Structure 1
Amino acid sequence: MRIGIDIRSLQTESQFRGIGTYTYNLIKHLVEVNSENQYIFFASAYRPLKDLGEGLRRNLVWLRRPARLTSLTDQLFWYNTLKAYRIEVFHTTELAVPKFSPCRRVITVHDLIPLIFQEYKRLPKLAHYLVYLLKFRSTQWAEKVIAVSESVKNDLIRILGLPEENLHVVYEGVQGCFQPFLPADRVEAMKKKYRINRDYLIFPCGFEPRKNVSTAIRAFHRALKRLPDGYQLALVGNLSPESWRVKQCIYQRGLEKEVLLTGYVPPEELCYLYNGAKLCLFPSLHEGFGLPVLEAMACGLPVIASNDTSLPEVAGDAAVLVNPYSVEAIAEAIVRVLTDPDLQRSLKEKGLKRAALFSWDRVAGETLKVYQSLVKRSP
């Protein structure tokens, strides 16, 4: 089977987010799980691409035009490209499916957040919303749609009206670098690098409103007043124009020394920060999957997460689930976990078992089954 995969998400800002993590690990493990298939990875010739290693690099095809799928010319370019490389199944891991295709099409949908939150429907994001709307509608052209959770699958049916028989849920996986009991000296060195100088909680986040960072800060501030020891809260994620709200929330409460903005932390360093933390906080208002919850669990870290959207199905009974809109509920959960050694021990044990269920080999295997179902049905 000749499988083409659009990996241009590894050349945009998405490479630092869940989509990039998904794309890289999917192609890496597809090649490892089944080397009998022929894989062709389509990348843009106009943007840098991180080193994929020799095993993946030999499968690259560089596209010499933007191929944004926004015009008939772009559509024809994709049609001719897929035909020239004799692709049987074409998989895009980010939004945009070609309408005209000589082969079967698969798309992975990570979430429908731009269609759900009203902030995307107003200036200055209105133009982005309209582009997203066009891209989301292109999912109807795919023969199979992979949703990363049951929550996303339900949104695809409810919002876009996609037929359930075309949808497959394939959960994401946890990278191997996320594991417990990493060397203590490396943990301490990483804490020093990111200015952490006492016991701390960690919140892997972005700074768009749905991440609920300001609510988390208010809850942390309330919890500090009830805890016998001082703690810091490390907010891990790329700073954005919207982070001014978070900074304002910090300054208003005099928490400049307690709340740290680390900026982006790569996975190979983030695993050490998880190992050194006392608790992972993740009260997001909406997630398509919620990979940080599993990454923290894989490092043996107790987790407090939102009880909404995909997070309950990802966390199972291995996390303390809270109402993300309630400052008091989050603060109470923080105090309860940090002051109850038995609860910490239970969450660690359950979390390690839960995270072990989500491997990238499993993701690759289930994705291959989706490909195979299409080829078998081909005339």
Structure 2
Amino acid sequence: MTNPHSALPNRPQPEPSKVLNVGVSMLTLVPGGMGGSETYARELTRQLAASRTVKATCYVNDGARGFSEGTDEIVVPGLTGGSSTIQRLITLAKGIIKRKSILGLMRPMDVFHVPFTVPLPKPAKEAPFVQTLLDVQHLDLPELFGLADKLYRKIFYEKTARDADAIITISDFAKTSIVNHLGIDPAKIFTAHLGVNAEEFIPNLGQRGNFIMYPARGWKHKNHATLFEAMKLLAVSNPELRLVLTGGALDTLTDVPDNVEVRGLVPLPELRELYRTAACMVFPSLYEGFGLPPLEAMASGCPVASSTAGSLPEIVGEAAVLFDPEDPEAIASAIRTAISRTEELQTLGLQQVQKFTWERCAEVHEQAYRYAFNLRTRNSSTA
């Protein structure tokens, strides 16, 4: 994977001798309730702690104290975050009211970064501003969002993206969507693929169980309903095969077939054991800005059957069997094929995982920080 920014002309060039003081504001963080975005932020802080070109200070709310492993952390009192739209709005309202006092707690910074998309507090006008925007799913699949969520994202995602000096996103698919929907200059959008700590997974290249797995929350775009139709087909052709579901909000699922076991949220060791022993991991999602589970499965030696939606073909490459996520027969066929190609997919999967590291992810962040800083510096010098 090459960095598409390296060949772009007219980019402000870095100043290697300048260590950038970066303020990382994570005041909307809800530990344990933000899925992949929380993993991303945690790993980013670990990498920034080891950086020689960035000095990061992380700002968290009361409920996220201790989150910023290895970096300097300042707790902002009076904010708790929240996962629902209403809770988010309450947190934002408090942040707006307390903006002046929050900014007063913050150290002088060369760059202000919000890894959770929403700028809280709104940065000082003179601060170069970097936003992480994981995706614009509300514009790609508007039918899945209510009016309140669309309005929230229009204000805090879209307007913020247009105001930012640089944007970090997590796939070329997401970057293209941002450019197409928001009309933003692609030169200021940096693709930082997420990483996998491959050493934390122990691949099993031996005997595997007689079940498949799908780790995903019970959100509509995760497409459990079509997967259930595929499982009904497999009940006829492969009656011994069952499906294990893990993840939150699975109690909302209906019409669950007899060959499907709903476990819900499980401890991390149990999830990793499922990766190590499943005959296949199926991932029928209708939309992914990135999609970490297929890579985690590959790191565990688990064959993967993956949807062709969103960023998934970009992420899994040739190391998975791809299928149309809206076709139950295609899903069932891909599962059977992935299991039959176990040894081949294991080899390809372990190779694919090596392309995605948190070190590379952090390097792109540092490029984005430097770009935003130098852009502001150049603009102020020519004003």
Tell me whether the two structures share a fold, i.e. TM-score over 0.5. yes
User: 1:267 and 1:90, CA in 2 relative to 1: closer, same or farther beyond 3 A?
Assistant: farther
* Kept after mapping to 2: 8 A contact 1:178/1:271: no
The secondary structure found in structure 2 opposite 1:330 is: helix
Q: Kindly indicate whether residue 227 of structure 2 is the aligned counterpart of residue 205 of structure 1.
A: no
Specify the alignment match of 1:141 in structure 2.
Answer: 163
Structure 2 length normalisation: TM-score? Answer: 0.82
- For 2:230 and 2:139, how far apart are their aligned partners in 1? 28
Question: Aligned letter for 1:180?
Answer: I
What is the percentage of aligned positions where both structures have the same residue? 25
* Kept after mapping to 1: 8 A contact 2:175/2:191: yes
* Kept after mapping to 2: 8 A contact 1:177/1:267: no
Question: Aligned letter for 1:226?
Answer: S
Specify the alignment match of 1:6 in structure 2.
Answer: 25
The secondary structure found in structure 2 opposite 1:60 is: strand
Q: Kindly indicate whether residue 234 of structure 2 is the aligned counterpart of residue 233 of structure 1.
A: no
* Kept after mapping to 1: 8 A contact 2:28/2:61: no
* Kept after mapping to 2: 8 A contact 1:298/1:355: yes
Specify the alignment match of 1:215 in structure 2.
Answer: 226
Question: Shift of the alpha carbon at 1:169?
Answer: 0.8
Matches within 5 A, 1:1-379: 1-8=20-27, 10-12=29-31, 14-15=33-34, 17-32=35-50, 34-35=51-52, 37-45=54-62, 47-49=63-65, 53=69, 55-56=70-71, 59-66=72-79, 68=92, 73-77=97-101, 79-82=103-106, 85-97=107-119, 98=122, 100-121=124-145, 125-136=146-157, 137-176=159-198, 178-181=200-203, 199-227=210-238, 230-239=240-249, 243-244=251-252, 246=253, 248-250=254-256, 253=257, 255=258, 258-338=259-339, 340=340, 343-379=341-377
Specify the alignment match of 1:194 in structure 2.
Answer: none
- For 1:291 and 1:91, how far apart are their aligned partners in 2? 23
Question: Aligned letter for 1:165?
Answer: A
* Kept after mapping to 2: 8 A contact 1:9/1:93: no
- Any unmatched runs of 5+ in structure 2? 1-19, 80-90, 378-383
Provide the aligned C-alpha RMSD in A. 2.6
Question: Aligned letter for 2:342?
Answer: Q
* Kept after mapping to 1: 8 A contact 2:234/2:241: no
- For 2:312 and 2:320, how far apart are their aligned partners in 1? 10
Once structures 1 and 2 are overlaid, which stretch shifts more, 294-303 or 363-372? 363-372
- For 1:352 and 1:110, how far apart are their aligned partners in 2? 25
The secondary structure found in structure 1 opposite 2:305 is: strand
Q: Which structure carries more helix by proportion?
A: 1
Aligned residue-pair number: 344
- Any unmatched runs of 5+ in structure 1? 189-197
The secondary structure found in structure 1 opposite 2:117 is: coil
Question: Aligned letter for 1:44?
Answer: N
* Kept after mapping to 2: 8 A contact 1:43/1:61: yes
